[in-house]
Amino acid sequence: MRYLNPLFRLLTLCGALAAVGLLPRGVSAELTATANHDRITIGFFYHGSSVSVRGSADSGCDLIIKIASPDGSQTLKKKGKQAGFLWMNVGSLHLEEAPHLYALHSTGDLGAIVNKGEREKYVLGYDALARQVKMSPVADDAEKERWFGEFVRFQEHSGLYAASIGKILVRNENGKKNYYILTQWPYQAQPGVYTVTVYAVKGGRVVETAETKVSVEQVGLVKRLAGMAKDHGGVYGLLSILAALGAGFGVGMVFRKGGGAH
Amino acid sequence: MYLYLPVALTSINILIPVGLGLAVGLLSGLFGVGGGFLMTPLLIMFGIPSTVAAATDSNQIVAASTSGTYAHWKVGNVDFKMGLYLLAGGFVGGLIGVQGIKVLNAMGNADFVIKMTYVLMLGIVGSYMFVESLQSMRKKRTDTAEPGEESGLARFLRALPLQTRFEKSGVTHSVLVPLFFGGFVGILAAVMGVGGGFLMVPVMVYILRMPMHVVVGTSLFQILFNCIEVTFLQAYTNHNVDFILAVLLLIGSTFGAQIGAIFGRKLKGEQLKIILACIVLAVTVRIIFELTMTPPLLLGRSGGH
């Protein structure tokens, strides 16, 4: 039954705008991956979502699932000590080729199941990510490592970076390995298209990959307000002010009536 | 219940902003401060990016101060004439202050200077108000009429040209006085990135010698205009005002301001001053803690303090 689902989706994909890519790229095409949604909509009452990924793989493989945004740049403020004991912002840190969201789940310890070269090639794990990310200003590698660690802590704090071992549920059936993972989708993740990549690893090497996309977009009032704030700042500002003035007067009037009564 | 904030790009439990609005609105109606020095750090604590927190707070203050000004105006506690002179001074001061920040940034170390100015100002204003109102409360009990010993500052202020009578406040000053002190507060407020209510209130009480109840109403009137200007500029140039967050905050703060104004009428001027002094001192202590304790995260989003 599970094999029908991707086929059905492929057929509907032809005409639809849904961005599901079901492209088992391995030669043997053993590995499959499907996300429960391909589109997360951010509406008025949005408070994050959950995304599950399921599929099957060759039974002898370990699995790594990476959910990531495209690489981008960001500038953060660094805190440091001044005058010996006062903590405050001491400058900024610019990062490049750093994904805004990066979650990595695996069936075993990364270092044990996949070798270093492959980890770096596919950017698997924080160590591999640290090599990819460019940072400035940093004086030397030690400083870079220290600030990368701080960066990961900062991102994990917002729920945007995560790493886990053993969260993937696996069941061997008919010589196949069926897997399933349920992850919380952080509400802090910005609108955009995210890629879920499943890596099947064997003997320290990635033998197959499969990917699917999850798009996150704003809809309805949220989208309209965000768009207006960005594109028509003046009108948006005036409306915000008028609404505030109206609310202030309105409540004032209510209280005057209430106050006159006693 | 959670709502998504389209500009802050985060989700928040609606009880948080409504509750914060109510609490800060109450202070606003009571003391004539905008409450940005409390609201902005609290919003940041609840996950709102600092730039959005500051900009949205100014939008919310427009509502709270409209509500508060209206409540105080009904009982004749707004000195519009004084308010307008202070505003004019504050406007010019704000322009100078913004240039001042540019100079500080060019010199480097801007953050250090700003933070230190802020802590010192809060500390000095809070301590002075505390001691002074405590003394006047004690004096009230012993003798009612105190013969006014005129300070050097008061004599100097009276010698200035363009003396005019401010009916509502019952004081006579040169128009230069509110213009100058409005400008002074405007410069500091712009540099520190705050509304400056906590500075303006003591200036009106101690330098302009206005009665506390008129001070509260007039300060709110003045804050209203400042925050309209700031909200517009933030929305227009930085796109940082979150309308949904502002609405949630103002639901609480407009009611809070009315309740504050009603409570304020029941309290004496000295009582109001001493409570405000305690709040300002508490904020000072909090900032000192924040500055000296190792922060949990050494990186933060850009913008804001």
Nearest Cα of chain A lies from the Cα of B176 at a distance, in angstroms, of 30
Report if residue B300 sits inside a domain: no
Higher pLDDT, A235 or A259: A235
Check B300 against A82: CB less than 8 A apart: no
Q: Does the pLDDT of residue B189 top 90, yes or no?
A: no
Q: For the complex shown, is ipTM > 0.90?
A: no
Of A187, A234, A249, the CB nearest to B70: A249
B81 CB contacts (<8 Å, ≥6 apart)?
B166, B167, B168
The torsion region of residue B193 among left (phi > 0), alpha (psi -120 to 50) and beta comes to left
Report if residue B81 sits inside a domain: yes
pLDDT tens digits for A249-260? 999 888 876 544
pLDDT tens digits for B62-106? 999 999 999 989 888 899 999 999 999 988 988 888 788 778 777
Which pLDDT band, with edges at 50, 70 and 90, does B136 fall under? Answer: confident
Q: Which domain holds residue B79?
A: 2-142+151-292
Report if residue B302 sits inside a domain: no
Nearest Cα of chain B lies from the Cα of A21 at a distance, in angstroms, of 27
CB distance B143 to A120 below 8 Å: no
Please give the share of chain B, as a percent, with pLDDT higher than 70.
94
Report if residue B101 sits inside a domain: yes
Report if residue B196 sits inside a domain: yes
Secondary structure string (H, E, C) spanning A108-130: CCHHHHECHHHHHHHCCCHHHHH
Report the relative pairing of strands A34-35 and A71-82 from DSSP bridges. Answer: unpaired
Report if residue B202 sits inside a domain: yes
pLDDT of residue A103: 96
pLDDT of residue B89: 92
**Does the beta carbon of A220 lie under 8 angstroms from any beta carbon of chain B?**
no
B117 CB contacts (<8 Å, ≥6 apart)?
B188, B191, B192
Tell me if residue A101 falls in helix, strand or coil. coil
Of B70, B291, B301, the CB nearest to A87: B291
Which pLDDT band, with edges at 50, 70 and 90, does B303 fall under? Answer: low
Report if residue B75 sits inside a domain: yes
Q: Cα A37–A38–A39 angle (5° rounding)? A: 90
pLDDT of residue A176: 87
Of B64, B234, B294, the CB nearest to A87: B294
Phi, psi (rounded to 5 degrees) for B35: 85, 10
Report if residue B303 sits inside a domain: no
Residue A59 CB-density burial (10 A; 0-12 exposed, 13-18 middle, 19+ buried)? middle
Structural domain count of chain B: 1
pLDDT of residue A18: 33
